[in-house]
Structure 1
Amino acid sequence: MSAGPRLLPWSDPNGKPCYLVTDHHGYVSQVADEMEDLQLRTGAELITIGHEMLGDNKVSAMELRYLGNRLCEALRDALRVAKSRGERLPEPEE
């Protein structure tokens, strides 16, 4: 694994990314792994809910706007997880 800092699945209070310099086996790394898993599961659940809502003609514009906002948050989280995990992949051999 890469020895560089790990992008964490949360931001600081100002919205800036947080990083951890670690061997990837400590407590904070474990918490970050669990948070990433939760974020990805939440996104998958939102997709299921979204499909159901889009098929229901009785859903209001306010409900769809709320769903859209939650889906944007889930996408942001998933992209951060992908970036973090991509940065931890080993460098390809020449």
Structure 2
Amino acid sequence: MSAPGLRLLPWATPEGKPCYLSTDGGDSKLSQLADDVEAAQLRSGEQVLAGARAVLADAKSGEQAIRFALARATESLEDVMRIAVSRGGRVPEPEA
């Protein structure tokens, strides 16, 4: 979980550690880039999901195809989870 006021970015360091952005709003160039990357990751996830469904629907799919589909689905799920955590962290707290 990130500290208040920090946005979890949709990418990680080369070592796999999360990256954060400290900003007062979503109008900065880096915020816009993060929004664009999130949108691209979600589109990619939709394509991966369609491909995985096709592999699973084909009874002739071999182990290699299934393992490839699962690996790509795992990568996409990781991206989507990071996006969900980031967006959840930016939802304002309800007033008491």
Q: Which runs of 5+ in 2 are unaligned?
A: none
Partner of 2:15: 14
Runs of 4+ aligned structure 1 residues displaced above 4 Å come to: none
Partner of 1:49: 51
What percentage of residue pairs aligned between the two structures are identical?
A: 45
Distance (Å, rounded) in 2 between the aligned partners of 1:60 and 1:38: 29
What TM-score results when the alignment is normalised by the length of structure 2?
Answer: 0.90
The reply to whether residue 72 of structure 1 matches residue 77 of structure 2 is no
Distance (Å, rounded) in 1 between the aligned partners of 2:57 and 2:80: 25
The worse-fitting range, judged by mean Cα deviation, of 29-38 and 48-57 is 48-57
SS in 1 for 2:8: strand
Q: Which runs of 5+ in 1 are unaligned?
A: none
Partner of 1:60: 62
Note the aligned Cα RMSD (angstroms): 1.1
How many matched pairs?
A: 92
By relative contact order (CA 8 Å, sep 6+), the higher-ranking structure is 1
Distance (Å, rounded) in 2 between the aligned partners of 1:27 and 1:11: 18
SS in 2 for 1:42: helix
SS in 2 for 1:81: helix
Q: CA deviation at 1:21?
A: 0.6
Letter in 2 for 1:14: E
What TM-score results when the alignment is normalised by the length of structure 1?
Answer: 0.92
Which of 77, 82, 92 in structure 2 is aligned with 1:90? 92
